[in-house]
């Protein structure tokens, strides 16, 4: 909701950004009795969080135990470090892993969130990827409701343009809204503005390894413009590992974006194979995350591929990163009909030969790839002899087939502004900027680079929420 001109202009805490990190910070501070004001540059609340599946990497939970799964902090942290490599911040990661069941799972459950399923994405020794009913949108709604119960106003369409200082300490923020320019006085400011993934030019500026690719799409939220990064840079904050960009292999251009920069993530298909431009399969398609899936795609000619599946499954397809096409409740049939009609990167054909001709792929190679996959499914084998993919539950690719062209899609910033364990923003010398805090993706989820160069799935939403809680809690403790 928007505040009016009569809203007070002095607060204990101003939070910039209304995603899960910002809302969590606001809840913590307001529950401690502080006066809090939340600013959101967009005209709606939630940022990238409302578009997220919100599955969280959480350790030793009631849901795990109910399914007979034994997990531990040590096992989880080993998995984390192995995936993230030498740039993973295992101090921050260790805190998160140890606290995740209490600070994320149970806290959200107490607020009314139900955890509905477990999965075991690549790199995890046991299933610990927890999926909430209603995804990120439901979590944002619950947190927004709690913020409002506590009397905190959320002002949308209000852009923070400058942080105000006095005697080396942050004292407020200058904002621009429909009412004009004004200054809010604050005892502390928490920057929770997300990343810059929505701007391809910023992605390529900070990630040289992506500049030579023929095409990189912008995933995540279109509002992820790096506004918080600009604010923080202007006051001497230190950033780290901004080249650590998490890229998914299953992006396809959004036909509703005339610039061609925005991507959509494609999910929901039961039986799929990926074919490169030579018509060959090259990867276990069930490993479709940002680690081996992306590495496999980037090793192909032209760094692109075609996702091939039965056309009868088209009504199951979910397109993420633009809620016009679908929400946690399911796809929007009219929007999806428009997508299939307007996308320049969709092809259909009766059988593999016709599909190959429609997609401009070598016909003989495509017929051979589809035939080999179908033979593997018919054989009753446990695994695909070509890729090692488990075949249980898969079907032959027969009849009319559909194909969607895939491109690498930048989805998350794994690096960001450096913070202390209390989420204080740090300078290059490691000194805290008094009164200034950061949490969420602008801080590389937590601390600056909690994940390292690569991330286990679920280690983004959870740490964003966690660092937001720590920031709000720290401000409350120091205000007292």
Distance CA 294, CA 456 (A): 13
Distance CA 333, CA 188 (A): 46
Displacement of CA 97 from its chain's centroid (Å): 19
CA angle 135, 438, 225 (to 5 degrees): 65
Residues pairing with 190 in the sheet? 15, 437
Residues 136, 51 contacting (CB under 8 angstroms): yes
State mean pLDDT over 166-192. Answer: 96
pLDDT digits (tens, 9 = 90+) for 102-132: 999 999 999 999 999 999 999 999 999 999 9
Which two structure tokens, joined as six digits, stand for 346?
């969709």
Determine the pLDDT at residue 8. Answer: 67
Distance CA 134, CA 254 (A): 23
Burial class (CB in 10 A: 0-12, 13-18, 19+), 362: middle
Please provide the average confidence, as pLDDT, over all residues in the chain: 96
29: how many CB neighbours lie within 10 A of its CB? Answer: 29
Q: Give yes or no for residue 6 having a pLDDT over 80.
A: no
Determine the pLDDT at residue 3. Answer: 41
Which two structure tokens, joined as six digits, stand for 55?
């599955």
- At 26, the pLDDT band (50, 70, 90 cuts) reads very high
**Going from the N-terminus, what domains does the chain have, and what CATH number goes with each?**
10-196+414-479 (3.50.50.60), 248-409 (3.90.700.10)
Q: Give yes or no for residue 32 having a pLDDT over 50.
A: yes
Determine the pLDDT at residue 7. Answer: 57
pLDDT digits (tens, 9 = 90+) for 407-442: 999 999 999 999 999 999 999 999 999 999 999 999
Distance CA 193, CA 439 (A): 8
pTM here is 0.95
């Amino acid at each position: 909701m928007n505040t009016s001109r009569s809203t007070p202009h002095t607060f204990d805490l101003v939070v910039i950004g209304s995603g899960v990190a910002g809302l969590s910070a606001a809840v913590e501070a307001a529950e401690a009795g502080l006066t809090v004001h939340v600013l959101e540059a967009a005209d709606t609340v939630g940022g990238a969080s409302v578009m997220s599946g919100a599955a969280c990497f959480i350790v030793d939970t009631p849901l795990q135990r109910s399914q007979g799964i034994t997990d531990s902090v040590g096992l989880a942290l080993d998995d984390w470090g192995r995936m993230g490599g030498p740039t993973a911040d295992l101090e921050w990661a260790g805190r998160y892993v140890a606290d995740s069941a209490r600070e994320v799972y149970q806290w959200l459950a107490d607020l009314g969130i139900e955890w509905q399923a477990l999965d075991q994405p690549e790199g995890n020794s046991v299933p610990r990827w927890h999926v909430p009913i209603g995804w990120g949108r439901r979590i944002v709604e619950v947190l927004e409701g709690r913020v409002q119960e506590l009397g905190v106003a959320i002002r949308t369409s209000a852009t923070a343009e400058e942080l105000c200082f006095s005697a080396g300490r942050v004292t407020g923020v200058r904002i621009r809204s429909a009412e004009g320019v004004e200054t809010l006085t604050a005892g502390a400011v928490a920057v929770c503005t997300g990343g810059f993934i929505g701007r391809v030019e910023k992605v390529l500026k900070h990630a040289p390894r992506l500049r030579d690719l023929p095409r990189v799409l912008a995933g995540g939220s279109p509002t992820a413009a790096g506004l918080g990064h600009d604010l923080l840079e202007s006051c001497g904050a230190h950033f780290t590992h901004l080249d650590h960009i998490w890229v998914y292999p299953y992006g396809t251009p959004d036909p509703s974006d005339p610039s061609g920069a925005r991507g959509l993530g494609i999910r929901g298909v039961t039986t799929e194979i990926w074919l490169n431009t030579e018509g060959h399969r090259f990867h276990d398609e069930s490993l479709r995350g940002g680690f081996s899936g992306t590495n496999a795609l980037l090793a192909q000619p032209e760094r692109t591929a075609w996702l091939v599946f039965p056309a009868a499954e088209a009504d199951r397809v979910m397109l993420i990163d633009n809620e016009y096409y679908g929400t946690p409740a399911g796809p929007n049939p009219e929007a999806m009909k428009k997508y299939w009609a307007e996308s320049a990167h969709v092809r259909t054909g009766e059988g593999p030969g016709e599909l190959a001709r429609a997609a401009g792929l070598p016909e003989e190679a495509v017929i051979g790839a589809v035939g080999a996959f179908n033979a593997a499914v018919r054989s009753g084998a446990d695994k695909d002899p070509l890729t090692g993919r488990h075949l249980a539950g898969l079907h032959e690719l027969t009849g009319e087939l559909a194909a969607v062209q895939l491109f690498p899609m930048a989805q998350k910033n794994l690096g960001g502004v450096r913070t202390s364990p209390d989420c204080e923003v740090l300078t290059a010398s490691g000194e805290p900027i008094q009164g200034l805090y950061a949490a969420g993706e602008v801080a590389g989820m937590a601390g600056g680079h909690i994940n390292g160069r690569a991330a286990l799935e679920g280690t983004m939403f959870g740490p964003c929420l966690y660092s937001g809680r720590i920031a709000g809690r720290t401000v409350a403790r120091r205000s007292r």
